[in-house]
Amino acid sequence: MKVIRAKSAGFCWGVERAVQVARDEAQGGKKTVYTDGPLIHNRQMMSALSSEDIREVGDYQSQSELDLSKKEDKESVLVVRAHGISPERRKYLRGLGLPFRDGTCPDVGIIAGKVKVHADRGYDVVIFGDPEHPEVIGLMGYAKGKSHVVRNLTELASLPPFKGGVALVSQSTMFTHEFKEVSRKLSEIYPDIAVFDTICGATKERQSDLVGLVEGGAEAIVVIGGKHSANTRKLAKLAAEQQKPTYHIETFKDLDLDSLKKFQTVGVTAGASTPEFIIREVCEKLEKLEP
Ligand code: SF4
């Protein structure tokens, strides 16, 4: 079978960087590294990192209190994930008294900066994103109570009327075409709205590469990544929107080989938190498949 792999498949630079921060601190297990929630949304990679004593504490949304009372017989350090955290959470984590390293993706830092600057000026800030996602929870913390999160066009109807300035930003992993629709609709109501397309470059590249797979002849798309990874789920949704059979899998073990072998050419992409070894295994398995 011919396999076309998307160039952007796998770790984005922000995830790569956060993993590197944690690994540098862990020094192969010499120190214990605690991450405030799962460092990346991929169970296989989390399990690989645990062998270097990189441990998830707290919860997915970085909201619960951390129990660090169990004394380790070696040094330990606290690392913040690529999603970032709110200023309040930062204060709490710093107060725990452990050495602190910040793995927040600089692209998320830019969004936080836009939210903060506009909230400081008295703007209402609309965040296009998922209110349950840790990145958005962190961003809301910069808005001084003036943030409003919408997931789609329909939810715009539930926004209160704004009397002063309005700014619009996006969670880094949203669809560009949907952001444009939200921005167009809000601009009709608030012509002076400050619009910031803060969908990151890595996300845009993944989305356009996926469309490129179909243009390159892929008859079906395999999307690799955690079932709970927001950006992988979005890629799977975008793949299905291309009117091609779509298979969202976590590892090669989930491949439906019987169903896939009817295709001559299959496109493969992967979420921003999918490690290279998993992508390689899937591609190798598919390449060996006889149509
Ligand atoms: S998806 Fe984008 S914003 Fe999020 S960690 Fe990766 S590069 Fe950074």
pLDDT digits (tens, 9 = 90+) for 182-225: 999 999 999 999 999 999 999 999 999 999 999 999 999 999 99
Same fold, 13-104 and 107-195: no
Q: Is 18 in the pocket of ligand 1 (CB under 6 A)?
A: no
- Tally Cβ neighbours within 10 Å of residue 76: 17
CA–CA–CA angle 23, 232, 53 (5° rounding): 20
Find out if CATH 3.40.50.11270 is the number for domain 13-104. Answer: yes
Tell me if residue 25 is catalytic: no
70 band by pLDDT with thresholds 50, 70 and 90: confident
CA of 145 to the centre of ligand 1 (A): 25
CATH of 2-10+201-287, one of 3.30.300.30, 3.40.1010.20, 3.30.9.10, 3.40.50.1220: 3.40.1010.20
Q: Which pLDDT tens digit goes with each residue over 218-246?
A: 999 999 998 888 889 999 999 999 999 99
107-161: per-residue pLDDT in tens? 999 999 999 999 999 999 999 999 999 999 999 999 999 999 999 999 999 999 9
What ranges in 122-175 are assigned the alpha helix state H?
134-140
Domain 107-195 has CATH 3.40.50.720: no
Q: What is the pLDDT of residue 291?
A: 72
Q: With a 6 A CB cut-off, is 203 part of the ligand 1 pocket?
A: yes
**Ligand 1 within 6 A of CB of 108:** yes
- Residue 105 CA: nearest ligand 1 atom is 8
List the domain boundaries for the chain. Answer: 2-10+201-287, 13-104, 107-195
Q: Is the pLDDT of residue 69 over 80?
A: no
Q: Give pLDDT tens digits for 8-59.
A: 999 999 999 999 999 999 999 999 999 999 998 888 888 889 999 999 998 8
Distance CA 76, CA 225 (A): 30
The tokens describing 121, both together, are 């000026």
Q: What per-residue confidence (pLDDT) applies to 229?
A: 84
The CA-based angle 54-60-66, given to 5 degrees, is 65
